[in-house]
Structure 1
Amino acid sequence: MQVRRTLPQRERSLVGAWCFVDHYGPEDVRTRPGMDVAPHPHTGLQTVSWLFSGEIEHRDSHGMHEMVRPGELNLMSAGAGICHSEVSTPATTILHGVQLWVALPDSARRGPRHFDHYAPQPVSFGGATVSVFLGELAGQQSPVHTHTPLLGAQVDLPGGNAVEFEVDPTFEHAVLLDQGALTVAGAPVRPYEMAYQGVGFRHLALTNTGTEPARAIVLGGTPFTEELLMWWNFVGRTHEEIVEFRNQWQTESERFGEVIGYQGVSARLPAPPLPTTRLIPRQPPTTGKVRAMLTDKNGAPVEVTQESDRFSIGVDGKSVGLTAFIEHGEQRVFYHTEIDPAYGGRGLASVLIAQALQTTREQGKRIVAICPMVKAYVEKHHDFDDILDPRTPEILRLLPH
């Protein structure tokens, strides 16, 4: 079965406390093997199972035996330790869904095992259909408890429609596109890609630019500020913890318990060998900058970052362009844009300017386009006419010389 690891990646390892996103299928399992994952362990996390099609049988050492079905949340809290199995049922024809992990904060990661099942009622909102399985969106709130502020929802948007959600500005958000053609805050996203919107925004705007329905998973949360160490199926804090978790699983410690009723070939998954080098925790995300993960016109990933006086665009971790501004009361005055000529022909200026202007709108600012490139953009694209102000002699006197 084809599985796409969307998170963690080199560019971003967390969105809020969401630390892992696997997107699998659609896979026709009538004539080929489906999902059969023998009992395996977890520590320090919650697993979130969400299906688009198919059915999966879940068993765990907390004594839970549940079916995962489309549109229904199964959330398993590992706490200090749990093990579980996942098997697609014989009734499944097409298997398609996402498997997500949530990192538990230090205050909860040594807690008891727990399991929640919840079937949210889909609601209509602004032309979209929304199913909120964690947190709050579109006036809907999930009753499922989380240990850090989180959002998880499926959004279905018909062809040609747009929707704008009010969101918590203390959250960062990600949108994983499953199918269709979508823009997030004006930036295009291809199927199986994830768009990112940093903190500081009060709205999340999605537009289906195609004729077919689009389906996406919206994730969000306040930035997770603790160090994390993820290895295999364990989430801990130090190398020594991971070594101990592995040893306890291999020796069948009571820490993880036992899954009853699994009938696969292997009774349990053995842990892989540890690397020969010391495992290093991920550092907490830096603050003070707003970042958005986007793509250029060829589909290659780029990152737009807002700083105090500019928006910059990066490729493979290297800054290759910027659009500079000054703040003037409620106005943001864009006066200079440049792109490294070595990266020409990729539409980077348009991506950068579009994101900069959309961010400016989200932050409640008005736009003054002094820079010729920004001026040309707003003259061609009329999305910002309502917040566009003319240049004045007073503004021109403010510009750097």
Structure 2
Amino acid sequence: MPLISFDGISQPLEEVQNNPARFALHLERAKKNPGYAVCGCKPSSILAPLRLVVRRYGKLFHLARWPDEGAKHDATTCPFFAKPGPLGGSAGPAQDAIRNTPDGLNAKLDISLSVRTVGRVQSSGDPARTSTAGRRAAPLLGFLQRVWGDAGLNQWSGGTQRNWGTCNAQVLAQLGEGKLNGRPIQEVLHVMRRYEETQQAAIKTEFEEFLARIQTTADASERGILIAEIKSIDPSKYSFVVKIRQTFESFFAPKDLIEKAAKSFRYAWSMIGNADARVVAVLVLERTKDGNLRVIDLAVQLCNKAFIFCDSSYEVAMANRLVAEGRRFYKPLRLMPGDEMLPDFVLTDTAAATAIEVYGMESHDAYRRRKEEKQAIYAQRRTPCVEWVPPADLASVRLPAAA
């Protein structure tokens, strides 16, 4: 990872991301003067520094790519590199559910963060959940995937193992001081921090302050959104208990919600607790009349051990191999109609970008047709492609050498 310069010091990006409290004062000064930090992934001059936005989130500060300058960073080693386009930080049309702004993310989700009367929880997609005329609303999983991609967490530059501290820092930098359903994002959304022994009390206090804003009275219910890594989801006497990493706090979830989620996110669900994978969740929390916290909606995303999004356990295995072998690659995110034809992964350290396809479901006619269509596209465009058809041994798949 590159060296980052700010307030007269230079530190590896990984150190800054994993230890935000240690550098908070330095980053606060840099935010005031000169108004940015400097990325050292490429040589730069005093007159044309490779700037990074310093964004405050609560009491800490995080680094984000400067608007429209993602392409200036080193494509092979720098997490701030991004091609021009939606995942490179462009704002997008005003009607888009998720937009990037100079202050951070502006998002409209298909949920209600505040309800005036407490009653039966409405399902996702209910028209009552939308309020801004003419603007689309994003589902929870779409929101999580978009944030992950905007933060560059779908890319791997061949470095060391990524931990939750890096994910936390890059997601918070992307969220910034933006808006969620018209409200300050920092008031309604919390991203769990990586556990640090020296920061244990501060982490606990921050989380409790967020949870304290989730309140239910006789007249209204104020909800909150949590992004965290799932530890376990276990049955209890009357419902289920959702446990997340980095905290001992647990949340109750009704049986019907868990059963629906287990079907909707079956690939991720089956990998919860698996040491070779990670499962990231976005949870909508509400407080019961008795003061307990319950999950009223959720979406989960399967990842490999380095938090690269994956669509199946086979993709997890492939992504883990690519990381272990120090390859540079990214996971295309399927966010728009037609994106289902994108490859599963793309190697970027080969002479020409190489698609990687992890095929399965050979018994399904529709899947086989899409596979054949993909193969025809690769042949027509002369795109190098590596194919793995499980249950064939992954070790038998030959990857092209890095350039």
- Confirm or deny a common fold (TM above 0.5): no
- Please say which structure displays the higher CA radius of gyration: 1
Greater helix fraction, Structure 1 or Structure 2: 2
Greater relative CO, 1 or 2 (CA 8 Å, sep 6+): 1
